[in-house]
């Protein structure tokens, strides 16, 4: 036994400890060094147990004699390098989110799994939940099951891709309202309304670009607009004969004065046009006698009835005089002119009533 193990001569391990080590590796399995150390004895630490087993039974003479150089039926890793279409890194979970327990409950987030109660494509697992490998499956059934597994893997990659986008663009803090506090701490350039609309139009690019790439792209577009506006301004200076920046200040001051005068002139002309338009409404009666005695409302009435101001004043005087005599109890007989028909009389009576010249019962 001592010749077989050679333990006491090489590492100070007794034959009893060697026997317990072999029993432990069979009972607890490779890798459970804490349990194996407890089984061997309190004098051996997990690190000592691991180093002794690896040196003696794997890399030692016993391991070389028992473990063949070429292992048959070894599984070959066909995955691509990191980032490829079959790379395991595409579904590698990210570090858990640093949020409080209440926020985890609000999101339905499980930090130890970096998972949510409701995931993208929640029913994706139904593709493989009922699959089983049977020895009597024919080629068509095997290929069909492989297709289901491939569909499931694609759904997992899409799910993880969406999580990566949400993590990269800080969508979870934005949902919880934490991004507003961060913006207050680190104020950036104020974004105009046009730039906000442009961001909404460029939102589909989020899935193809990282957050930093998109921000750099957006800032470059902003710089491009500024440069284009500056180029147009310099071209305008050149067309007006300005070749030095010192001359541009004087030119801008003169241009501002010209535009101000032009604006004032347009305002004055628009006011004058309105006044002329108002007078143009009464062009048919403004030159007739008595026009200056009428109010604006009476001018509109006479213009709509096609009635001269003098005739209107006559009818108005007769109607008001008769109304006053009736209120005083004096009997009077109305002597309205013959050119006043029933329609004109009714329109004038309604107007005088609405204006308060006569009472409604009299009309």
Summarised one tens digit per residue, pLDDT across range 131-146 is 888 888 888 988 999 9
Percent of the chain with pLDDT over 70: 81
Element holding 1 (H helix, E strand) = none
pTM beyond 0.75, yes or no: no
How is the chain split into domains, by residue range? 15-66, 99-176, 191-240, 243-272, 291-355
**Residue 270 reports pLDDT greater than 80:** no
Neighbours of 60 (CB within 10 A): 15
CB 172 within 8 A of CB 107: yes
Higher-confidence position of 281 and 158: 158
What value does the mean pLDDT take over residues 50-54? 90
**Residue 273 reports pLDDT greater than 80:** no
Q: How far apart are CA 23 and CA 40, in angstroms?
A: 9
**Residue 123 reports pLDDT greater than 80:** yes
For 157-171, give the DSSP string.
Answer: HHHHHHHHHHHHTTH
For 29-73, give the DSSP string.
Answer: -TT-HHHHHHHH-TTS-HHHHHHHHIIIIISSHHHHHHS-SS-TT
- What is the C-alpha end-to-end distance of the chain, expressed in Å? 139
How far out from the chain centre does Cα 305 lie? 61
The radius of gyration computed from the CA coordinates of the chain, to the nearest angstrom, equals 49
What's the pLDDT band for 228 if we cut at 50, 70, 90? very high
pLDDT digits (tens, 9 = 90+) for 83-100: 554 555 556 667 777 788
Percent of the chain with pLDDT over 90: 5
- The pLDDT of residue 9: 40
Q: How far apart are CA 325 and CA 179, in angstroms?
A: 83
- The pLDDT of residue 224: 92
* Residue labelled with tokens 């001018």: 299
Helical segments of 74-208, H only: 101-107, 139-168, 171-176, 178-185, 193-201
What's the pLDDT band for 274 if we cut at 50, 70, 90? low
3-state secondary structure of 110: strand
- The pLDDT of residue 182: 57
- The pLDDT of residue 206: 80
- The pLDDT of residue 117: 85
Indicate if the alpha-carbon torsion angle 7, 12, 15, 17 is positive or negative. Answer: negative
Q: Domain 15-66 falls in which CATH fold?
A: Arc Repressor Mutant, subunit A (1.10.10)
**Lowest-confidence segment of 88-92, 115-119, 312-316 by average pLDDT:** 88-92
**Residue 326 reports pLDDT greater than 70:** yes
- The pLDDT of residue 147: 92
- The pLDDT of residue 227: 93
3-state secondary structure of 116: strand
**Cβ neighbours of residue 347 under 8 Å, at least 6 residues apart?**
301, 305
- The pLDDT of residue 80: 57
Higher-confidence position of 128 and 282: 128
Average confidence score pLDDT of the chain: 79
76: left (phi over 0), alpha (psi -120 to 50) or beta: beta
Q: Which residues of 96-119 are buried (b: 16+ CB within 10 A; e: fewer)?
A: ebebeeebeeebebeeeebeeeeb
């Amino acid at each position: 036994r001592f010749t077989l193990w050679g333990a006491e001569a090489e590492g100070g391990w007794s034959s009893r400890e060697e026997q317990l080590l072999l029993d432990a590796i069979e009972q607890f399995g490779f890798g459970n060094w804490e349990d194996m150390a407890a089984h061997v004895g309190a004098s051996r630490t997990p690190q000592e147990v691991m180093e002794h087993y690896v040196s003696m039974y794997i890399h030692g003479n016993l391991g070389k004699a028992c473990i063949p150089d070429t292992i048959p039926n070894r599984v070959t890793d066909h995955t691509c390098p990191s980032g490829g279409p079959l790379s395991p890194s595409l579904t590698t979970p990210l570090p858990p989110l640093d949020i409080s327990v209440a926020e985890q409950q609000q999101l339905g987030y499980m930090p130890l799994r970096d998972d949510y109660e409701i995931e993208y494509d929640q029913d994706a697992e139904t593709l493989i939940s009922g699959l089983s490998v049977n020895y009597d499956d024919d080629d068509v059934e095997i290929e069909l099951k492989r297709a289901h597994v491939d569909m499931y893997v694609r759904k997992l990659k899409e799910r993880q891709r969406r999580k990566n986008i949400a993590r990269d663009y800080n969508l979870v803090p934005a949902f919880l309202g934490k991004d507003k506090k961060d913006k207050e701490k680190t104020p950036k350039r104020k974004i105009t309304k046009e730039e906000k609309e442009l961001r909404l139009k460029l939102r589909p690019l989020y899935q193809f670009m990282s957050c930093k790439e998109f921000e750099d792209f957006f800032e470059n577009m902003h710089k491009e607009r500024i440069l284009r506006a500056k180029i147009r301004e310099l071209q305008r200076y050149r067309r007006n004969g300005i070749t030095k920046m010192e001359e541009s200040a004087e030119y801008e001051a003169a241009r501002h004065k010209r535009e101000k005068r032009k604006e004032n002139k347009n305002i004055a002309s628009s006011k004058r046009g309105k006044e002329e338009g108002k007078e143009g409404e009464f062009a048919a009666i403004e030159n007739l006698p008595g026009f200056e005695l009428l109010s604006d409302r009476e001018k509109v009435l006479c213009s709509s009835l096609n009635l001269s101001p003098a005739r209107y004043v006559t009818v108005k005087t007769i109607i008001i005089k008769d109304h006053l005599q009736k209120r005083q109890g004096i009997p009077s007989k109305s002597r309205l002119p013959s050119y006043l028909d029933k329609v004109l009389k009714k329109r004038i009576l309604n107007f005088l009533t609405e204006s308060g010249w006569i009472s409604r019962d009299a009309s």
